[in-house]
Amino acid sequence: MRRLMSSREWPATRVGTGILSSQPEENPHWWNANMVFIPYCSSDVWSGASSKSEKNEYAFMGALIIQEVIKELVGRGLSTAKVLLLAGSSAGGTGVLLNVDRVAAQLEEMGHHGIQVRGLADSGWFLDNKQYRRTDCIDTITCAPTEAIRRGIRYWNGIVPERCKLQFKEGEEWNCFFGYKIYPTLRCPVFVVQWLFDEAQLTVDNVHLTGQPVQEGQWLYIQNLGRELRNTLKDVTASFAPACLSHEIITRNHWTDIQVKGTSLPRALHCWDRSLHESNRNGKVALKGCPIQLIDSCPWPHCNPSCPTIRDQFTGQEMNVIQFLMHMGFDVQKMAQQQGLEPSKLLGMLSSGQPGPGSRKAMSSSSDNLPQV
């Protein structure tokens, strides 16, 4: 069991960042919580139950790893806990959705009925959408999202929650890996954190935003992706979705800087925690002045002024939002004309993150009017 734990990769003396930090300035609400870090070494979105055999060269045992970690932690003080927050980023975020109810059921079966199990899924709410440009499924990067999971679940002997599994035909359990499909079936409260323009989603959709100016079709696709993702979150009780181009946030040291509608992520999580503590176990009622459903409405990547800094993939130099849009090949004159604004006024709004009038309209790009960066 010890080899599955994090002693080598995450020694006790190491200082975590973001939600793992023990510094109140960086982690204002949970800096003194008991934390356990489980390294992602199973490559199965924490769903696998396949051991190594003569037929299978590799073992995929993510679901079983979580089960065994919970068993060991019960003997190390978890049995006296009031709350267990299962958190993860990227594949770990999807893993939270797949495992949070199972962990709650496991603790119940072990006789620990007083532990409230909750989930925090960061950057794991993917869409099973159509790729911008279809490619052959050679690896995890080129595979369409649905095809990657379809193939993976067979290799991993992937386990999905029974309540979700029952919603689909036999052989279509892969649907449960997509947040908007599994979320309605979950019993445990879950807080969803998701960038509206997630870099990992764009990668599997074959949209690349650095190196070459984007074409108008790409830009329309990107805007539509933001709208689609926003729509899938409308019935999620507790969410934080900034209109930024990024991936993962809860373990970043700048996680306190990102805001949606004037509220930071740590503040929103604290509000959610308080609302659950005060008997709103389903999280449907937020406390006054304490929002827990925060979704950006501005329509393009990095239109939120608190978004993390973008760096040029090739030079490593930081870019502000104007430089980023120009880097992607935008004609500021044309954008301003579409919005009914002077170019200087539009640039000022972009700098401050204010959406202009009619900003929900599709913005078009022109690779003819700006040099390639």
For residues 105 and 112, what is the distance between their CA atoms, to the nearest angstrom? 10
Catalytic residue among 29, 208, 247, 270: 247
For residues 338 and 299, what is the distance between their CA atoms, to the nearest angstrom? 14
Q: Is 264 a catalytic residue?
A: no
The alpha helices in 195-259, defined as continuous H runs, are 199-204, 216-232
Q: Is 296 a catalytic residue?
A: no
Q: Is 101 a catalytic residue?
A: no
For residues 125 and 195, what is the distance between their CA atoms, to the nearest angstrom? 9
Q: CB-based contacts of 71: which residues, under 8 Å, 6+ apart?
A: 110
Catalytic residue among 44, 101, 198, 331: 198
The alpha helices in the chain, defined as continuous H runs, are 62-74, 91-109, 145-156, 162-165, 179-182, 199-204, 216-232, 265-277, 321-327, 332-339, 343-352
Catalytic residue among 50, 90, 239, 275: 90
Rounded to 5 degrees, φ, ψ at 340 are 70, 35
Rounded to 5 degrees, φ, ψ at 221 are -65, -45
Alpha-carbon separation of residue 341 from 93, 155, 369 (angstroms): 41, 54, 19
Alpha-carbon separation of residue 24 from 12, 17, 21, 30, 125 (angstroms): 18, 11, 8, 8, 28
Q: Which positions are annotated as active-site residues? A: 90, 198, 247
